[in-house]
Structure 1
């Protein structure tokens, strides 16, 4: 291995691993991509015969360019430059030590011919395609067992042209599960930044079995009625940072997953150490942030901060079901602003949806140590719809400084709770459920995950005024 490559790789590792540290119970993800964007070798997609007219199919050009650039993987890596134009393509594989750069005005267009999206085996932690039994279409941009991959540019665009896939799905005309726009598997050191994603056939960005992932400065858009067009879905992945994104789609803006029922339990690959910061968006069908429902490998150490959701169905939701097994624990949600949201916070213990009939109904999930701190909302339909599982109580659920203005014409109780237990302090409207009658301070702060030091210190006098200035 050449010395230049060793230096490049050491700098990359430092950029990622140095960025993750524990301070005051939360993860900081300080990231600069300047080190990883310099590659000693660079080519343009036009050098391999690509034509950016939006009509010519360029799959072979992308494949040939990446095959050529792979020869530089041990020489510091390489950059594939996509200039302004409409670059129609089918699915193609990335390589390690690569920067895929979309210049200003460049759009990678997904083919509308399903034959240009190969069919591959299902994920082992799912056991089948997510929406249909059997296999699944591969993503437009795909990679597995990779290291040091950057997908970025000057706000170029990746457009899946998903409307034809949505029609096939609605009409029951698909034989295999729809493809994502980007899926990277079993990979380390990934950066996706400074791009716009449009009209994904299915989920937009799906890192699965990955670690050290940064998703930053993205705009992700799909029609509000487009089916299952999730924004970013980290799945059985660790050390993931999602920051400064604007997402409007037909499903969850971000959904954290870790496998499905018996397949996820067996594969046993959790999602952990995930930070979501400064996310703004809208979804009229689903949630701003969801955990699950596929969480059978476990989900833990999740930090969500500075979320702004407007004109949407649900703010934050945890979805699970008997048969899932696994766990969701150590989740801290803070500094959330909700405007015109039907359900601010929702737990669903009987979500259903199983891959087959072989799941174990006795495999119950453990949901515990979930904290909501500094949450505000206007024009809210229901403050909290908290439904656990009978015989499997969700516990140590904490609400601190939560103020949600419920619509005056709402005929529903602001809080509804079943099989969920925890603590609350300074919540309006007050949680009237018996299972939340105990206050957090002074006796139960240790039962609540990740409380900010300011609030803990202020609680000694039970005075709200010093830290209400935060708003």
Structure 2
């Protein structure tokens, strides 16, 4: 059981008083949550006693599920999967059961799509019809999957594959294996049904009165997530390797008291929707000492999509994520984009991201709504990040030209009203961030009607191609920031933002231009204690920005 953490003062933002005075607004960090743990009787049943065969050919769906049901009805205990290759269809968990997979055991889910029924489910934050999850449970209490063995979703049988993610030899082999290729020759699908689903609008989205029969023509496209627990309490996932999912690997939905410990979570880097862990509308969560190497976002916080998420109204809250390593993923730690129910009181500590596309990734868009707040991040290491080390983007998934810094300088732009559909990112504190290699160190892109606000970044050491870009941001404090960049023109760009304070900014290497200020609405930008060589250009003002918007101390 986790211990409570004492309240401490955290600076959320910096408020400027006129041009000279600066005051700090302080708030109290919430206490760490207490995550309730599982407990089981010592009784143990082996699946071989129910007729299971670990030869990789016999289908063990019935023996495994019978063992789980039997021990649950007896009051609970352990269902043991011993050494062997256990081919199976969907496994349905029951309350008070610990499914224990020994190290020399592999649970492999069948590639026979007929073994998976179409069921009412959830996909990317909205109700939908999907194939039955390989492992599932609903409204359960006190459940666990433990051990040191491997659980493999056989996802290669389900997933489409993009041509540009394969070598010529890999693509040729994939096409020769069967399946179909789209008209453009760019995407391989495992079947005609899968291709048909990909070209059908809103595939699988359920409406009143529809049944499974309405989706049979696109069944192969409706890939399941490997492990889904819905509205369950007291869950432990520990020790096992969970890999090769048709879609997301692990998806706890509306659960409470979840512990994820010492897991290895893997998906091919090219796997479509190959997320590692998606924690959606859950409360009281601990994720620690685990390793992720996946094809999409690695550790992700969600809470429903658009109207469906707002109607559910269940934020993901009280989450601790610590001592984890991510080797590949679209993001190391991610919030969004389906965050319409909100997210709050989340701690991310002592994690390393090695080669993730983006490091810390916070994404949303108009129409989502939801408030993401009280996020505390400390001691993060990043190496070889192809994109941004720290990214806030409120235009995620938008089609067509997106706003770039300064483009609204003289333009008349219609700004939407703030409604329940307007998302918000606010009250983040990040400390002790070390980055060796990224395309850009820090990038914020808020909305004109809703800035990214009240963000603190302290003690960050970043080596990247580009430095810092802040668009539509407010109340941002960056302190003790060391930037070693190869493309420093400018090092810092602030556009249509206000109340931004840079304290002890430390450029490394040749800096042609320290800061560019753009946009008519930019105001109260303070630069204090910056270490700049003589003869270098300090500031530049474009797209209607006033020179009075920048104060240098």
Smaller-chain TM-score bracket: 0.7 to 0.9
Query: How many Å apart are 1:317 and its aligned residue?
Result: 0.6
Residue aligned with 1:316, SS: strand
Q: 1:140 aligns with which of 134, 143, 149?
A: 134
Task: Output one character per residue of 1:392-434: Cα deviation in whole Å (capped at 9) or x when no partner.
Answer: 111101111111012xxx3xx4212211221111112275536
Q: 2:477 aligns with which of 423, 443, 455?
A: 423
Q: Which has the larger radius of gyration?
A: 2
Q: How far apart, in 2, do the equivalents of 1:320 and 1:56 lie?
A: 45
Q: Which residue of 1 is the match for residue 501 of structure 2?
A: 438
Whether 1:42 and 2:44 are equivalent positions in the alignment is yes
Query: 1:318–1:52: structure 2 CA closer, same or farther, 3 Å change rule?
Result: same
Q: How far apart, in 2, do the equivalents of 1:314 and 1:297 lie?
A: 24
Q: 1:182 aligns with which of 227, 233, 236?
A: 227
Q: Which residue of 2 is the match for residue 451 of structure 1?
A: none
Q: Which residue of 1 is the match for residue 98 of structure 2?
A: 99
Q: Which residue of 1 is the match for residue 153 of structure 2?
A: 160
Contact 2:418 2:450 (8 Å CA) reproduced? no
Query: How many Å apart are 1:29 and its aligned residue?
Result: 7.1
Q: How far apart, in 1, do the equivalents of 2:365 and 2:258 lie?
A: 28
Q: How far apart, in 1, do the equivalents of 2:335 and 2:149 lie?
A: 30
Q: How far apart, in 2, do the equivalents of 1:403 and 1:224 lie?
A: 28
Whether 1:302 and 2:346 are equivalent positions in the alignment is yes
Query: 1:72–1:431: structure 2 CA closer, same or farther, 3 Å change rule?
Result: farther
Contact 2:35 2:257 (8 Å CA) reproduced? no
Q: Which residue of 2 is the match for residue 119 of structure 1?
A: 118
Residue aligned with 1:88, SS: strand
Q: 1:326 aligns with which of 363, 370, 385?
A: 370
Contact 1:27 1:275 (8 Å CA) reproduced? no
Q: 1:367 aligns with which of 420, 425, 437?
A: 425
Contact 1:326 1:364 (8 Å CA) reproduced? yes
Query: How many Å apart are 1:116 and its aligned residue?
Result: 1.6
Alignment of 1:69-468 (within 5 A): 69-73=71-75, 77-123=76-122, 126-129=125-128, 135-153=129-147, 155-167=148-160, 170-171=188-189, 172-173=194-195, 174=197, 175=218, 176-283=221-328, 286-342=330-386, 343-352=388-397, 362=419, 363-406=421-464, 410=465, 413-421=466-474, 422-429=476-483, 431-433=492-494, 435=498, 437-438=500-501
Query: How many Å apart are 1:113 and its aligned residue?
Result: 1.2
Q: TM (normalized to structure 1)?
A: 0.80
Corresponding pairs, count: 403
Q: How far apart, in 2, do the equivalents of 1:333 and 1:439 lie?
A: 19
Contact 2:326 2:354 (8 Å CA) reproduced? yes
Residue aligned with 1:64, SS: helix
Residue aligned with 2:357, SS: strand
Query: How many Å apart are 1:256 and its aligned residue?
Result: 0.3
Query: How many Å apart are 1:101 and its aligned residue?
Result: 0.5
Q: How far apart, in 2, do the equivalents of 1:353 and 1:205 lie?
A: 27
Task: Output one character per residue of 1:200-231: Cα deviation in whole Å (capped at 9) or x when no partner.
Answer: 11111111100100000011112111111111
Higher helix share: 1
Q: Which residue of 2 is the match for residue 21 of structure 1?
A: 4
Q: How far apart, in 1, do the equivalents of 2:298 and 2:84 lie?
A: 28
- The gaps in structure 2 that reach 5 residues or longer are 9-28, 161-178, 180-186, 198-217, 400-416, 484-490, 505-528, 530-553
Q: How far apart, in 1, do the equivalents of 2:247 and 2:31 lie?
A: 30
Task: Output one character per residue of 1:24-45: Cα deviation in whole Å (capped at 9) or x when no partner.
Answer: 4365578897x72x52321100
Contact 2:264 2:290 (8 Å CA) reproduced? yes
Query: 1:435–1:376: structure 2 CA closer, same or farther, 3 Å change rule?
Result: farther
Contact 2:32 2:318 (8 Å CA) reproduced? no
Q: How far apart, in 2, do the equivalents of 1:328 and 1:200 lie?
A: 28
Query: How many Å apart are 1:440 and its aligned residue?
Result: 7.5
- The gaps in structure 1 that reach 5 residues or longer are 1-14, 130-134, 355-359, 442-461, 463-471
Q: How far apart, in 1, do the equivalents of 2:35 and 2:454 lie?
A: 33
Query: How many Å apart are 1:436 and its aligned residue?
Result: 6.2
The alignment's C-alpha RMSD in Å is: 2.5
Residue aligned with 1:321, SS: coil
Query: 1:361–1:166: structure 2 CA closer, same or farther, 3 Å change rule?
Result: farther
Contact 2:33 2:284 (8 Å CA) reproduced? no
Q: How far apart, in 1, do the equivalents of 2:383 and 2:59 lie?
A: 43
Contact 2:122 2:130 (8 Å CA) reproduced? no
Task: Output one character per residue of 1:337-360: Cα deviation in whole Å (capped at 9) or x when no partner.
Answer: 111112101111011379xxxxx9
Q: How far apart, in 1, do the equivalents of 2:60 and 2:478 lie?
A: 57
Query: How many Å apart are 1:125 and its aligned residue?
Result: 8.9
Query: 1:69–1:353: structure 2 CA closer, same or farther, 3 Å change rule?
Result: farther
Query: How many Å apart are 1:124 and its aligned residue?
Result: 9.4
Q: How far apart, in 1, do the equivalents of 2:35 and 2:370 lie?
A: 31
Q: How far apart, in 2, do the equivalents of 1:271 and 1:104 lie?
A: 33
